[in-house]
Amino acid sequence: MSIYFPVDVNFYDSPEFFEVNMSARGLWVTCGTWCKRHLTDGVIPAKIVRHLGGTVRQIKTLIKNNVWAESEQNGTKVYIFCHWFEHNLSREEVEERRRKWRESKQRSRAQNRPEQRKPAKPQNSPPQDVHHNVHDDVPRVREEVIEENKRGGGQVTADPPPNPAAARCPDHAHIPPNGYVPACHACRAERERAEALVVEWENREAERRKASIAACPHCDDRGMAQTEDTNGNSLVIRCAHDGPPPIVPAVEPERHTPPPPEVRRRIAGLGRRAAS
């Protein structure tokens, strides 16, 4: 379920923004997306505004034109969008919609299971005089793996099929995959059979992934699940289908460590020496 920060097509011509310059409007949109992502109901801390590149002049412009209001919450200086709820849902409304969306998705999955597609068949039949079968060069797929893939819930898949570019007839088997192969009907038949194996293997893999997604109550139809990091920020990660999505460690900002005093003195000395 995607979240968007709505911007009216006439906002630039509204009375509030008539005297707001371009840079301040850009800050307003950027901070609005931050508030919508974190569901803060139009409240953004001052330190976040500075982190997003907001300047004192831009902030004063927004406050002067009644676009923002300055306030304080829990001892922290914040800015509040003055008309937030005219175009945005509250945090409670968004969470309620998410809950209903998840329940609807679970009901839909329970009622409609994806049908298994049949493996694709090769388009062209090989010549009758070709006796070499490319299946002889492929490890046999275990019967339990095939049955698991047919049921759509297998976690173990067959070995990858052979490379069609390396398929050769017995007379040209010594030629490397990227080597020159003369015109040969038998090699063409081997290549077409290898391509058919690739299609069959890809179909099984696609069905296995679809079945795993359909059976998982924690992700959407694309296999993506919503979670958060250790700082409470919302994140979307690829679901592993083995339980609720984990809490992701927050990415710590890089900290610049200045050089030791003796190194700074040496650098300063080199600069003075170069200047003289």
What's residue 147's pLDDT?
53
Domain boundary among 169, 188, 215: 215
Residues 210 and 222 in one domain: no
The rounded distance, in Å, linking the Cα atoms of 69 and 44 is: 11
Q: Has residue 72 been placed in a domain? A: yes
Share of the chain above pLDDT 90, in %: 20
Please say whether the beta carbons of 236 and 224 come within 8 A: yes
The rounded distance, in Å, linking the Cα atoms of 149 and 152 is: 5
What's residue 132's pLDDT?
42
Residues 170 and 193 in one domain: yes
- Residue 78 domain boundaries: 11-86
Residues 44 and 76 in one domain: yes
Average pLDDT along the chain: 79
Residues 167 and 237 in one domain: no
What's residue 51's pLDDT?
94
Residues 144 and 193 in one domain: yes
Residues 155 and 206 in one domain: yes
pTM assigned to the model? 0.41
Residues 196 and 222 in one domain: no
CA torsion angle 115 196 121 114 (round to 10)? 0
CA distance between the termini of the chain: 65
Q: Has residue 117 been placed in a domain? A: no
Q: Has residue 208 been placed in a domain? A: yes
Residues 204 and 222 in one domain: no
Average pLDDT of the segment spanning 18-28: 92
Residues 190 and 201 in one domain: yes
What's residue 247's pLDDT?
85
Domain with residue 58: its CATH number is: 1.10.10
What's residue 112's pLDDT?
67
pLDDT digits (tens, 9 = 90+) for 175-213: 887 788 888 888 888 888 888 888 888 888 888 888 888
Structural domain count of the chain: 3
- Asked if the model's pLDDT at residue 41 lies above 60, the reply is yes
Residues 157 and 200 in one domain: yes
Q: Give the tokens for residue 132.
A: 């070499």
* pLDDT confidence bin for 27, thresholds 50/70/90: very high
Q: Has residue 75 been placed in a domain? A: yes
Q: Has residue 174 been placed in a domain? A: yes
* pLDDT confidence bin for 48, thresholds 50/70/90: very high
CB-based contacts of 91, cutoff 8 Å, min separation 6:
39, 40, 41
